[in-house]
Amino acid sequence: MSLNVRIENGEVKDVWDTPIDSREGWKSAIEVKPTIIAHRQGYTGHIFDITKDPVEIVYGTFDVLVADRKEQMKQNAQMAFNRLFRQQAENPSTYDPVALQAAKDAVAPKQAAIDACTTHDELDALL
């Protein structure tokens, strides 16, 4: 996707896929996103390098903490059960108490396995 930025007094004022008006200062721009390691890194906010042509929208990265990743994985395990529970509640004619109980019983062991992990490699092995 092509991007355009409008620069006014040395600052980026607008970012759009197409210039939205006839004001001066519109320049082409590109996003510069470094490669990240899935589940282990994420993108931070961005800065504009207006000295480049096209203008570069440069993103930084951050490392995901093992504790934060564990919490997200535990929430995902719980959400999978919650989703099944809602589906069962919304359609009583197909209510399956055995499937619901099996899903409920699976949450605690998944969360315990996640809690036991101390590294990203261990968490990756659970995927």
Q: What is the DSSP letter of 60?
A: E
Q: What is the pLDDT of residues 91-111, one digit of tens each?
A: 888 888 898 899 889 999 999
The mean per-residue pLDDT over the stretch 8-18 comes to 94
Query: Where do the structural domains in the chain lie, given as residue ranges?
Result: 3-63, 66-126
Rg (CA), the chain: 23
Q: Which residue has the tokens 């619901």?
A: 100
Per mean pLDDT, which range of 31-35, 82-86, 116-120 is the poorest?
82-86
Measure the CA–CA gap between 85 and 95, rounded to whole angstroms.
9
Identify which of 29, 32, 96 has the alpha carbon closest to the alpha carbon of residue 61: 32
Q: What is the pLDDT of residues 36-92, one digit of tens each?
A: 999 999 999 999 999 999 999 999 999 999 999 999 999 999 998 899 889 888 888
